[in-house]
Structures are given as structure tokens and as C-alpha cells.
Amino acid sequence: MQPKLAIVAGGGSLPIALAEACRKNERPYFLLGLEGFAEPGRLEGHPHRWGRIGAVGRVVETIREEAALEVVFAGHVRRPSLASLRPDLFTVRLLARAGARALGDDGLMRHIVRAFEAEGLRVVEVSSVLADALAPPGPLGALAPDESALEDIRRGLEVAKALGRADAGQAVVVQQGIVLAIEAAEGTDRMVARAACLRREGPGGVLVKVAKPQQDRRMDLPVVGPATVDAAAAAGLRGIAVEAGGVLVLARDAAIRPADEAGLFVTGAEPASGTPRRLS
């Protein structure tokens, strides 16, 4: 039997998808909801406890009390400012090791993973729990991007990867070569909504979402799901391209069906090769 899994849960549906996968596979688990990020209503019906993002020491203790040996981080967390963090002693030490510049950096995430591992916990990737969640290359639904959409995808991958290298965002909307909107702290869905106000005449834009090149894959892999498809359809986009092997597609059936109905493509693209792969 697999060891008990602690799902450290931010906002959104990813933590629940993990919990449901554990339940289905009869793997022991509990959700550790992060106050202010995990939504209480969603945690009901699953074994869960609560923790605070500034109290990493207490979070580790709770995981020990629950006798979980593996940990997975999942869901949105709005990175707090130092002023709002109210860190416990463990967290103060962690921040001291990470250095003053780490807040807002991938570096902080790496230090958190290391600190958990120093406490004897094994931090695992979301994709190790949620098999088949990583986007494969090529179209996921009935539709595939045409040549002009492929151009926008290529441009979007270029910009999003540059952003990712600077550790500053993971998603962009491109229409006919024009970068309409770039994501920072507001999140993908609000960025997509903004793109609706900026769109030009002609065929709609494409949402492109990638993983940061340097990112620790055990933290914070980007996600798209049904809500992303709804936002893209409402904004008049033509489709969504996610980095194959770098972005999680949640509730794939529930996401792809409305995309097909709305006439949107959803496709896995590969930045490394310069142009996204096309299956037709």
C-alpha cells in the first residue's frame, strides 16, 4: 500500500482532484487547507485540517500528527507580502535561509521543498498522483489550430517562456502576432477576461500557458481546466495551447466537451522544437 499523502491545498479544483484520485485508488490521504486560499466548502466531505502559509512549522507538525509520509503541493496560493506573513519560528528560519530576495521567487519554493525534506517528508509531483493529468502533445479535443493560430501559438510560447525564465508569469494571449495580455499576479482567468477588451477585428486570439523552464516540478505546475475553457470562450478566443508535459489539464472530459461545443481548440504544444507539434 502507498504511504498516506498530505495534500497541502491552495485554491481551485486541483487539490480536490488529487483527493478524489486518492479515494478512487484507496490510498490514505488528508487535505491540509491553507487558510485564505483553500475553499472550505470544497474540503468538506474529505478528511481535512487547516494550516497557515506563514506557519510552515505548524504545517509540518500537522502532517506528522496525521502520520503522512508523502506531501504534494496543489492549488493557487497568492504569495503574501512579508508584512502579512506573520511567520512562525520555522518559517522565519526558512526565510532567513532563502534570503530576503526570495519572496516572489521560485527560489522560495525550492527552499520550502528542501525544508520539508529535511523534516523527513517526501515531496512528490502532482502528476505522480494524478496520472494522465499532464497535457500530451497535439489536440485534446475535436479541433486543431490552423496555420495562423499556430503562428500565434509560436509567438505565445516565445513570450511566455521569456516571462517564465524571469520567473514572472506563465500565460499570455496572442492575436495575429499581437500580444494582447500577459499574466502576472492576477491569474490566468482574469488575464483572459482582460484580453476580451483588447481584442482586434478578425480571428480571435489564443491563450498560451507554459511551465517556467527552471521550475521545481513538485511545486506550482500550471493548470488549465473547465474554468479556463469558459473564460477563453467568453473572451472570444479561438483556442488554448498548453505546454505538452508542462501543464496539467484538469477534469479533461469536462474541459474538452465545452471547448468542442464552443468551437475552441485545446492543444498540447512543445516550445523546445520551436514550433508546436501538429497532429492532423
Q: Which residues bind its own copies (CB under 8 A)?
A: 79-84, 100-105, 151, 155, 158-159, 162-163, 165-166, 168-169, 172-173, 175-186, 194, 197-198, 200-203
Beta-strand pair 70-74/5-9: parallel
Cell of 88: 512562525
Considering the complex, state which of residue 139 and residue 145 has its C-beta at the smaller distance from its own copies.
145
Alpha helices of the chain — where are they, by DSSP H? Answer: 14-24, 40-43, 56-65, 82-85, 89-98, 106-118, 126-129, 147-165, 188-198, 226-234, 252-262
Using the minimum distance from each CB to its own copies, give the nearer residue, 62 or 170.
170
Residue among 181 and 242 whose Cβ is closer to its own copies: 181
- Measured distance CA(81)–CA(183) in Å, rounded: 19
State in angstroms the smallest separation of the CB of 113 from its own copies. 19
Side-chain-side CA neighbours of residue 194 (13 Å) = 16
Minimum Å gap between C-beta 222 and its own copies is 16
> To the nearest whole angstrom, how small is the minimum distance from the Cβ of residue 59 to its own copies?
21
Distance CA 107, CA 19 (A): 27
Our CB check for its own copies shows the closer of 98 and 134 to be 98
Minimum CB separation of residue 193 from its own copies in Å reads 11
194 backbone φψ class: left, alpha, beta (φ>0; ψ -120 to 50): alpha
Least distance to its own copies, CB of residue 239, Å: 17
DSSP 192-238: HHHHHHHPPSSS--EEEE---TT--TTS---EE-HHHHHHHHHTT--
CB of 49 to its own copies, least distance (A): 26
Give 65 or 201: the residue with its C-beta nearer to its own copies: 201
Q: Which is nearer to its own copies, 80 or 258 (CB)?
A: 80
